[in-house]
Amino acid sequence: MTGTAGGSGAGARSGAGARSGTGAGEPMNPGPVGPGGLVDLHTHSSCSDGSLEPAALAQLAAARGVGTLALTDHDSVAGLQAAAEVCRAGGVRFVPGVELSCDWHGQEIHVVGLNIDAEDAVLLAHCAEVGRLRRTRMQRMGERLTAVGLPGEALTTAALSAGVATRRHLARSLVARGLARDLQDAFERYLRRGRPGYADIAWPELRRTVECIGGAGGVAVLAHPHRYGLSVSQLGALVAEFKALGGEGLEVSLAGMGRPDSSRAEALAQRFGLAGSVGSDFHEPGLPWRPLGRFAKLPSAIRPITASLDP
Ligand SMILES: [Zn+2]
Ligand SMILES: [Zn+2]
């Protein structure tokens, strides 16, 4: 989900600790893998809706002290090879990943797949199918914007020429044309469910999505549980089903995730025996609440998902 402006405090605080690196002892989010430094298992490049090319993202990660990096573009594995090459050259451990959108009882859910085989035929077919769904939906969103007097066709040009057509592309176009103040405003006014530019999309089911990740040799991680607007009991039901389907991890620490949300996620991870994952959900350098590689430390009671990523 996009357009969420979480608080920036946690990221800034953890960033200071992160930069201290080895000085005080433990690196952030210590795990048994990686060459040390920060662990960031949720990032986006221009192969989906991020602003940096995969290679530039990997270079920035290395410069920011990220020792283990996953690229997890939306429904795309197109950037993995380029990012992997830069990581290899820069001594960063690279985890090939993807973030798949899916449906759980009418709710859009995101599942991150880590350590996936980017050449898995079923995964590639899945991404291609979702890509078609996204383009169709983007055309409908353009039509809906046109219907309220906006230049829908022009606004959707960037999204439809991108590798993956996302609402974030459309939000950027709205901002660029002065039709919204910023990305969040674009979502609030036009792009959220129920707003004039919103069009629905029939995402693949959660079950199929988790199976797809497992079939590609990956580890399925439920992304940003705090951003779905679910009640505590609904979230519990989601996590229970995710676990039953073979899900292995839950994002418990994300840039911009407040302490109450982190605590709830940690409790869910412990209750359902899921490993904890961490990441920035980085999209672009200019957004301060999602700084690459900086987020709160994974509590020692939570088993790090990195332990499941050992070769
Ligand atoms: Zn997401
Ligand atoms: Zn994401």
Q: Name the residue ranges covered by the structural domains of the chain.
A: 9-15+29-126+205-309, 135-191
Q: Which ligand is nearest to the CA of 281?
A: 2
Distance 1 CA to ligand 2 centre (A): 7
At the topology level, CATH places domain 9-15+29-126+205-309 in TIM Barrel (3.20.20)
Q: Which ligand is nearest to the CA of 283?
A: 2
Distance 103 CA to ligand 1 centre (A): 13
Distance 238 CA to ligand 1 centre (A): 15
Q: Is the Cα dihedral 154, 155, 160, 162 positive or negative?
A: positive
Tokens of 136: 């169709």
At 242 the pLDDT is 98
Distance 22 CA to ligand 1 centre (A): 31
At 86 the pLDDT is 97
Q: Return the H-helix or E-strand segment holding 219.
A: strand 219-222
User: What's the rounded Cα separation, in Å, for the pair 141 and 174?
Assistant: 12
- 10-residue averages of pLDDT along the chain (311 residues): 34 32 33 60 96 95 91 98 96 96 97 98 98 97 97 96 95 97 96 95 97 98 96 96 98 87 94 94 76 70 86 61
DSSP E strand boundaries for 41-121 = 66-71, 93-104, 107-114
Cα–chain center distance at 45: 10
At 299 the pLDDT is 78
Distance 24 CA to ligand 2 centre (A): 31
Distance 160 CA to ligand 1 centre (A): 20
At 296 the pLDDT is 64
- Ramachandran category for residue 32: left, alpha or beta (phi over 0 → left; psi -120 to 50 → alpha): alpha
The residue behind tokens 């302490």 is 259
At 287 the pLDDT is 65
Distance 42 CA to ligand 2 centre (A): 6
Q: How does 137-165 read in b/e, with b if 16+ C-beta sit within 10 Å?
A: bbbbbbebbbeeebebeebbeebeebbbb
The residue behind tokens 């995730």 is 257
At 31 the pLDDT is 34
In this prediction the pTM is 0.86
Q: Which ligand is nearest to the CA of 110?
A: 1
At 255 the pLDDT is 82
At 146 the pLDDT is 97
Helices and strands counted in the chain (H then E): 11, 7
Distance 208 CA to ligand 1 centre (A): 17
Q: Which ligand is nearest to the CA of 42?
A: 2
At 259 the pLDDT is 87
Contact 133, 203 (CB under 8 A): yes
Distance 104 CA to ligand 1 centre (A): 14
Distance 16 CA to ligand 2 centre (A): 23
Distance 147 CA to ligand 2 centre (A): 30
